[in-house]
């Protein structure tokens, strides 16, 4: 069963890829005027169908893994992150029925694929549940939250479309740099994934002995060559690289090292692309976005938040509180994960109120959509891995 | 203050921007699109600006201020997660030194600024209070006028009102009546409510969604109010009890009304041979707890009111308390939170003669209850063992230079015995503890040999009473209803009006213009009425085209030069 489950996810991944390609064809290819005078393109529809089938296969993964594990597969980093990506594709499927926007599909699907691959960098084996997680509220709370976040993530895709659509890439200013920075961040994830797979295939491993934050000797493994070594680290593995720098003891230096590798390689990747195309990446994407009016992109990004916000609030705050009351004896504990869910909530509340004022539609609103998604990813990655609290993930 | 009479005859309250009845713009005569917020109704905050009350009212009713409050809360909350809050630092640590030792100077600053207890700080509370006040005032400021304006609106609207709607269009030379009838049918199918007057119609849908924000704000206010009640006595109980196997303790926080008996505590580990989890358990490297549970019996004390009489304990219910499955009764919940296995509970000793020639030492075992030891044990034949001092959790107090006990839990028991025998009636002293058994002065003739150790499991339970929960549930529920009401529906209006030769159409929605345009598409594809334009979208595209043209020209001249 676990085998079947991961194969289903693999199939889903390739269907998402197919859907991306079809959406790309739809956006770049010729369009035909139909009887009502609307422009239409069959491949957009096919891309949509592929995304639905991909989503169904992904749900196949989810259900079979649930059956195999005996609990919903949302209880560790791999499972939750993959599920979030699946829910993003679900959100696209829903929002496409309202707006029929191929460009939205083209911007969303690659993000979905990237997150799925990112998820599979974490340990993927089925884990036993600690007592606090043994409750049907695990399923209710986490699934609802992921649906909400998945829909909110669509506003990121739409916001990015808006920015790429309206920004003048012939200029050199903050706005251009901002969009390029978003794209660079995405490239860092690509770099991280490639490096992880690469070093893993090459069988790289370096072991260090070091002095930890309690002043004791400990061991640490590096999956990538150590640029930043641990505190007073001593390399134990033969033929591994000696670090250039050493990190203070309170920092998990192997994680820091991975982050450094990803950021530097992301930069390299970015400049390679820039060298090849000789203009900002946004400028290359811009023609794709011409099929949508800025107003429509703006509305799309707002609509995703209007739909996602109540669901996120229900799952991430209300169900969370109910469960916390049962499992932790109190509905609110000011645990970092909880606080960041509250911050997400407050952020989108501020967004909704800002849109009541003039001057906060359009571009500013689009930047906010990007920041909102950054907060969600921050809560997923940084808070889980670095500021871990009562939420015992990963 | 004087009221404003519109040319249609309607008398509007002072401060009205758009006539409540016909929609004539009363204040600005410009050409730009009408600002339709709150239907242009008179709001207190926009009208009165004199007294102190006005100023406070206006301050808190401003959305800008509201947003600032939300953003400040957001940023402050974020700061609280940089380092752990004081309740999450390891138990027993002194925060004054912990933050500095662990996180250096920044940690010390964090502590000194009070960020280690951020969410309980007065200024965080003040921000939440400001949010509450703002919610009340901003909602009152808007909901009443909005309600009035939506109730008073007439079907036939002023020209200026229609022209200056975002979606507007005209058609010429049509059979007005017939087209309006066809359009009415389309709109009926789309579940619009149709109101007619003098051959004009307004189709309206989803007005109730306009109340969504106010409903959700009310829910939020109730929730915040409920959260505040916590600080009143009797509303909230938060106590911890430790109960040993086979022990009965009063349930703290219930004024001695309830008692809890721990029949048995047990812990189950995941089976390491289980194929499903094998890989994960290997990675973990240690065993993982599957369940821990206390088989508990809740008892109620009933005494007949006579002072000094023996109390009766009546069984109320028994329940296996596990994480996620508390015992609840009478509003109280008792939760499984922690445990300690193998806590020392009894030491047994036998008295022996060191030189083995001191006559007949009685072969009796004494058992010392480490929770509550008896102080004297008579072995008969003149042999008496006395406990001089007992430290359940022995530490040496450096400050006062004397032995003491850190807690009352026997984690590191240390006993000073005095053994009286026929040959030494004054007794000789020895100190016995974990891995110690020594005479205090010189050599002793007798020695208490440790002959048995008993251990016990202890369960940690939290007692909780939270009488604010019902209010929080009501508030949360109302909040969700309002949120859904305001988010998943939108308030759309479509006006169809005959203006001489022309048929005018105009549309307004409080959100989702693309969806409104789809309704217009449905009208225009089923009637001869021309598709109106979205003036905002059109303006934007026009600006873009102009910009593009200018840029192309610029580039053209660059090439020339
Ligand atoms: C965290 C606290 C708050 C939450 C969660 C919240 C939530 C909401 C939501 C969901 C909407 C509907 C927005 C839309 O449909 O686009 C809304 C509207 C609104 N909120 Fe809040 N709100 C909060 C605090 C405040 C505060 C403090 C103020 C006061 C300044 C305020 C003033 C308004 C106003 C004026 C509206 C528009 C009402 C209308 O369209 O008729 N809100 N709020």
Most B CBs within 10 A among A296, A320, A346, hence the mutation to make, goes to A346
The reply to whether ligand 1 has any atom less than 6 angstroms from the CB of A272 is: no
Chain segment B121-147, per-residue pLDDT in tens: 899 999 999 999 999 999 999 998 898
**Max avg pLDDT among A67-71, A115-119, A289-293, B421-425:** A115-119
Predicted confidence (pLDDT) at residue A114 exceeds the cutoff of 70: yes
pLDDT of the residue at A55 = 96
- Report the alpha-carbon distance of residue A138 to residue A134 in Å, rounded: 7
Token pair belonging to A122: 């974490």
Confirm if B348 and B385 have CB atoms less than 8 A apart: no
Which run of H or of E encompasses B257?
none
CA distance A232 to A238: 18
* Beta pairing, strands B402-405 & B394-397: antiparallel
For residues A377 and A80, the answer to whether their CB atoms sit within 8 Å is: no
Q: What pLDDT score was predicted for residue A31?
A: 61
Residue B131 in contact with ligand 1 by CB distance below 6 A: yes
The answer to whether the CB of B505 falls within 8 A of the CB of B494 is yes
B321-346 pLDDT tens trace = 988 899 999 889 999 988 888 888 88
pLDDT, greater one: A196 or B278: A196
Pairwise CA distance, residues B61 & A353, whole Å: 13
Q: Which of A250, A299, A342 faces B513 most closely, judged by CB atoms?
A: A299
Contact status, residue B20 vs residue B41, Cβ threshold 8 Å: yes
Residue B382 CA to residue A380 CA, distance in Å, equals: 73
Distance CA B206, CA B490 (A): 6
Higher pLDDT, A256 or B483: B483
Q: Which two tokens stand for residue B210?
A: 């306009």
Phi first, then psi: what are they for A83, rounded to 5°?
Answer: -65, -40
**In the prediction, which pLDDT does B548 show?**
83
In this prediction, residue A390 carries a pLDDT of 47
CA atoms within 13 A on the CB side of A266: 19
Find the Cα–Cα–Cα–Cα dihedral B26, B30, B36, B40, rounded to 10°: -20
Q: Which has the closest alpha carbon to B509: B495, B496, B494, B492?
A: B492
CA B493 to CA B491: how far, in whole Å? 7
Q: Is B281 on the interface with A (CB under 8 A)?
A: yes
The DSSP secondary structure of B129-178, one letter per residue, reads: HHHHHHHHHHHHHHHHHHHHHHHH--SS--HHHHHTSSEEEEEES--HHH
pLDDT at A385 over 80: no
Spatial separation of the C-alpha atoms in residues A373 and B99, rounded to whole Å: 32
Say which of B270, B512, B537 has its CB closest to residue A303. Answer: B512
CA-CA distance, B249 to B261, in Å (whole number)? Answer: 7
Residue B50 has pLDDT above 80, yes or no: no
Which residue in the set A123, A125, A132 is minimally distant from B323, CB to CB? Answer: A132
Q: Do the Cβ atoms of B448 and B437 come closer than 8 Å? A: yes
Give me B304's structure tokens.
Answer: 């007949």
Query: Which residue has tokens 């022996």?
Result: B352
CA B331 – CA B313 distance, rounded (Å): 20
* B window 441-500, beta carbon within 8 A of A: 462, 464, 466, 469, 472, 476, 479-480, 483-484, 487-488
- The pLDDT of residue B101 is 83
In order of A129, B158, B273, the CA distances from B287 in angstroms are 12, 77, 11
pLDDT value of position A276: 94
Q: How many CB atoms lie within 10 A of CB A71?
A: 20
pLDDT at position A392: 43
Cα(A302)–Cα(A388) distance, rounded to whole angstroms?
32
* Contact yes or no for A340/A383 (Cβ under 8 A): yes
**Sign of CA pseudo-dihedral A223, A226, A231, A232:** positive
Distance CA A337, CA A386 (A): 11
Q: Is the pLDDT confidence value at B307 over 90?
A: no
- Extents of the domains making up chain A: 2-169+293-385, 170-278
Is the pLDDT at B560 greater than 50? The verdict is: no
Confidence of residue B426 (pLDDT cuts 50, 70, 90): confident
Q: What is the pLDDT of residue A394?
A: 32
| Residue B17 near ligand 1, beta carbon < 6 Å | no
Residue A83 has pLDDT above 80, yes or no: yes
Q: Please compute the mean of the pLDDT values over residues A278-293 and round it to a whole number.
A: 91
Q: Which residues have CB under 8 Å from A50's CB, separation 6+?
A: A15, A16, A18, A19, A22
Q: Is the pLDDT of residue B447 over 70?
A: yes
Neighbours of B525 (CB within 10 A): 13
Cα–Cα distance measured from residue B391 to residue B374, given in angstroms and rounded to the nearest whole number:
13
Per-residue pLDDT, averaged over B91-107, amounts to: 84
Q: Label residue B438 by pLDDT band (50, 70, 90).
A: confident
Count of beta carbons in the 10 Å neighbourhood of residue B474: 14
CA A80 to chain centre: 11
Q: What is the CA radius of gyration of chain A?
A: 22
CA pair distance B430, B441, nearest whole angstrom? 8
Neighboring chain A residues of B87 at a CB cutoff of 8 Å: 334
> How many other C-beta atoms are found inside a 10 Å radius of the C-beta of residue B541?
14
* Any atom of ligand 1 within 6 Å of the Cβ of B142: yes
Question: Which residues on chain B are in Cβ contact (under 8 Å) with A346?
Answer: 70-71, 73-74, 77
Written as six digits, the tokens of B546 are 């102009």
pLDDT of residue B561: 41
| Residue pLDDT, tens place only, A329-344 | 889 888 888 999 999 9
Other CB atoms within 10 Å distance of the CB of residue A121: 19
Work out the burial of residue B103: count CB atoms within 10 Å of its CB; fewer than 13 is exposed, 13-18 middle, 19 or more buried. middle
No. of H helices and E strands in chain A? 13, 7
How much is the mean pLDDT over chain B? 87
Tokens standing for residue B256: 């001695």
Please judge whether B469 and A325 are an interchain contact, meaning their C-beta atoms are less than 8 angstroms apart: yes
Tally A–B CB contacts below 8 A: 139
Residues of chain A with C-beta less than 8 angstroms from the C-beta of B512:
299, 303
A17 CB-near residues (< 8 Å, 6+ apart): A109, A113
User: What distances in angstroms separate CA B147 from CA B144, B150, B154, one per listed residue?
Assistant: 5, 5, 14
Query: How far is CA B423 from each of CA A236, B28, B353, B430, B441, rounded to the nearest angstrom?
Result: 66, 114, 12, 17, 17
The span from the CA of B425 to the CA of B435, in Å, is 28
- The CA distance from A27 to A89, in Å, is 19
pLDDT at B354: 80
The pLDDT score that the predictor gives to residue B479 is 97
CA of A353 to the centre of ligand 1 (A): 6
Helix (H, G, I), strand (E, B) or coil at B301: strand
Q: Is A172 helix (H, G, I), strand (E, B) or coil?
A: coil
Each residue's pLDDT tens digit, A209-244: 888 777 778 888 888 888 888 888 888 887 778 888
Judged by average pLDDT, the poorest of A4-18, B16-30, B405-419, B484-498 is B16-30
Chain A nearest-CA distance from B80, in A, is 8
pLDDT bucket at B359, cuts 50 / 70 / 90: low
| Inter-chain residue contact A68 with B276, CB threshold 8 Å | yes
Query: What is the pLDDT at residue A391?
Result: 47
Please enumerate in sequence order all residues whose Cβ is within 8 A of that of A108, keeping only pairs 6 or more positions apart, or say none. Answer: A88, A89, A92, A153, A154, A157
Q: How confident is the model at residue A389 (pLDDT cuts 50, 70, 90)?
A: very low
Q: Can you tell me the distance from the alpha carbon of A110 to that of A99, in angstroms, rounded to the nearest whole number? A: 19
CB contact under 8 A, B480 and A126: no
Model confidence at B53, in pLDDT bands (50, 70, 90)? confident
**In B, which residues are within 8 Å of A130 by CB distance?**
288-289
Environment class of B288 (CB within 10 Å of its CB; exposed 0-12, middle 13-18, buried 19+): middle
Cα distances from B166 to residues A99, A322, B32, B171, B216, in angstroms, run 20, 44, 9, 17, 28
User: Residue B210: enclosing H or E segment and its boundaries?
Assistant: none
Between CA A126 and CA A73 the distance in angstroms is 8
Tens of pLDDT along A125-173? Answer: 888 888 888 889 989 999 999 999 999 999 999 999 999 999 989 888 9
Neighbours of B50 (CB within 10 A): 7
Q: Which of B262, B281, B279 is nearest to B270 (CA)?
A: B281
What pLDDT digit, counting tens, does each position of A85-113 carry? 999 999 999 999 998 889 999 999 999 99
Closest CA to A131 of B239, B266, B268, B273: B268
Nearest CB partner across the interface for B81, out of A126, A330, A339: A339
Lowest mean pLDDT among A195-204, B81-90, B200-209, B214-223: B81-90
Looking at residue B46, what is its pLDDT? 76
Cβ atoms of B545 and A293 within 8 Å: the answer is: no
Residue A137's closest CA among A321, A346, A1? A321
Say yes or no: CB of residue B217 within 6 Å of ligand 1: yes
d(CA B343, CA B298): 23
Q: What is the pLDDT of residue B232?
A: 84
pLDDT at B490: 94
Q: Which residues of B76-97 are buried (b: 16+ CB within 10 A; e: fewer)?
A: bbbebbebbbbeebeeeeeeee
SS3 sequence of B276-300:
CCHHHHHHHCCCCEEEEEEEEEEEE
Question: Which residue owns the Cα nearest ligand 1 atom 12?
Answer: B213
Q: What is the pLDDT of residue B340?
A: 86
ipTM over 0.95 threshold: no
């Amino acid at each position: 069963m676990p085998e079947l489950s991961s194969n289903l996810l693999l199939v889903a991944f390739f269907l998402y890829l197919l859907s991306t390609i079809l959406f790309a064809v739809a956006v770049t290819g010729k369009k035909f005027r139909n009887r009502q005078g609307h422009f239409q393109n069959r491949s957009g529809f096919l891309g949509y169908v592929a995304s639905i089938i991909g989503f169904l296969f992904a749900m196949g993964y989810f259900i079979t893994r649930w059956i195999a594990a005996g609990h919903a597969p949302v209880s560790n980093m791999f499972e939750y992150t993959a599920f979030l990506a699946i829910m993003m594709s679900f959100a696209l499927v829903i929002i496409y029925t309202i707006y029929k926007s191929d460009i939205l599909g083209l911007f969303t699907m690659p993000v979905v694929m990237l997150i799925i691959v990112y998820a599979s960098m974490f340990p993927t084996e089925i884990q036993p549940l600690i007592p606090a997680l043994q409750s049907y509220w695990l399923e209710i709370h986490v699934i609802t939250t992921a649906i909400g976040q998945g829909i909110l993530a669509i506003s990121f895709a739409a916001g990015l479309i808006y920015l790429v659509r309206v920004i003048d890439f012939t200029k050199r200013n903050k706005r251009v740099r901002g969009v390029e920075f978003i794209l660079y961040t995405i490239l860092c994830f690509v770099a991280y994934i490639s490096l992880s797979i690469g070093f893993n295939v090459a069988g790289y491993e370096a072991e260090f002995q070091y002095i930890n934050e309690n002043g004791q000797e400990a061991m640490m493994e590096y999956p990538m060559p150590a640029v930043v070594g641990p505190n007073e680290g001593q390399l134990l593995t033969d033929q591994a690289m000696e670090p250039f720098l050493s990190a203070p003891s309170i920092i998990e230096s192997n994680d820091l090292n991975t982050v450094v590798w990803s950021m530097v390689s992301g930069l390299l990747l970015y400049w390679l692309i820039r060298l090849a195309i000789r203009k900002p990446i946004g400028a290359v994407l811009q023609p794709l976005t011409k099929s949508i009016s800025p107003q429509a992109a703006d509305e799309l990004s707002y609509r995703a938040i209007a739909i996602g916000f109540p669901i996120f609030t229900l799952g991430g705050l209300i169900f969370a509180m109910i469960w916390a009351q049962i499992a932790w004896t109190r509905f609110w504990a000011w645990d970092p994960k909880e606080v960041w869910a509250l911050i997400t909530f407050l952020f989108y509340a501020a967004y909704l109120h800002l849109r009541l004022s003039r001057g906060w539609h359009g571009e500013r609103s689009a930047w906010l959509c990007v920041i909102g998604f950054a907060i969600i990813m921050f809560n997923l990655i940084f808070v889980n891995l670095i500021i871990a609290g009562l939420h015992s993930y990963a | 203050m004087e009221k404003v009479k519109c040319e249609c005859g309607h008398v509007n309250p002072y401060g009205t921007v758009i006539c409540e009845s016909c929609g004539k713009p009363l204040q600005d005569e410009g050409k730009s699109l009408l600002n339709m917020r709150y239907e242009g109704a008179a709001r207190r905050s926009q009208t009165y600006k004199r007294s102190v009350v006005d100023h406070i009212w206006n301050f808190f009713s401003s959305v800008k201020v509201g947003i600032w409050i939300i953003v400040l809360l957001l940023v402050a909350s974020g700061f609280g997660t940089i380092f752990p809050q004081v309740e999450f630092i390891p138990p027993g640590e002194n925060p004054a030194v912990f933050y500095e030792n662990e996180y250096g100077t920044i940690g010390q600053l964090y502590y000194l600024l009070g960020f280690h207890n951020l969410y309980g700080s007065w200024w965080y509370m003040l921000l939440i209070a400001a949010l509450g006040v703002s919610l009340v005032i901003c909602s009152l400021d808007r909901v009443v006028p909005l309600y009035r304006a939506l109730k008073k609106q007439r079907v036939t609207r002023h020209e200026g009102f229609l022209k200056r709607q975002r979606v507007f269009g005209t058609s010429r030379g049509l059979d007005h009546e017939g087209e309006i009838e066809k359009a009415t049918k389309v709109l009926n199918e789309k579940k619009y409510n149709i109101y007619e007057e003098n051959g004009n119609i307004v189709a309206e849908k989803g007005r109730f969604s306009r109340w969504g924000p106010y409903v959700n704000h009310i829910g939020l206010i109730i929730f915040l109010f409920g959260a505040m009640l916590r600080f009143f006595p009797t509303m909230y109980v938060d106590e911890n009890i430790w109960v040993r196997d086979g022990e009965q303790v009063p349930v703290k926080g219930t004024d001695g009304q309830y008692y809890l008996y721990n029949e048995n505590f047990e812990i189950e580990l995941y089976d390491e041979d289980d194929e499903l989890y094998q890989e994960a358990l290997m990675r973990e490297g240690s065993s993982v707890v599957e369940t821990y549970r206390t088989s508990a019996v809740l008892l109620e004390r009933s005494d007949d009111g006579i002072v000094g009489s023996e109390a009766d304990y009546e069984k109320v219910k028994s329940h296996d308390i596990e994480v996620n499955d508390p015992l609840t009764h009478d509003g109280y919940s008792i939760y499984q939170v922690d445990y300690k296995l193998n806590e020392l509970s009894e030491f047994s000793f036998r008295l022996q003669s060191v030189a083995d020639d001191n006559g007949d030492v009685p072969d009796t075992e004494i058992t010392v209850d480490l929770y509550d030891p008896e102080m004297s044990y008579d072995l008969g034949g003149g042999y008496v063992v006395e406990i001089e001092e007992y430290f359940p959790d022995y530490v040496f107090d450096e400050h006062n230079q004397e032995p003491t006990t850190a807690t009352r839990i026997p984690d590191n028991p240390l006993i000073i015995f005095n053994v009286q025998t026929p040959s030494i009636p004054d007794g000789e002293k020895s100190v016995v503890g974990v891995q110690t058994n020594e005479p205090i002065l010189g050599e002793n003739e007798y020695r208490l040999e440790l002959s048995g150790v008993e251990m016990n499991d202890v369960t940690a339970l939290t007692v909780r009473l939270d009488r604010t929960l019902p209010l929080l549930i009501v508030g949360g529920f109302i909040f969700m209803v309002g949120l859904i009401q305001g988010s998943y529906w939108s308030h759309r209006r479509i006006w169809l009006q005959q203006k001489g030769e022309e048929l005018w159409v105009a549309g307004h929605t409080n959100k989702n213009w693309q969806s409104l345009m789809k309704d217009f598409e449905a009208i225009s594809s089923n009637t001869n009425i021309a598709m109106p334009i979205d003036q905002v979208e059109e303006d934007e595209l026009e600006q873009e085209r102009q910009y593009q043209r200018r840029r192309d020209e610029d580039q053209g001249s660059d090439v020339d030069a």
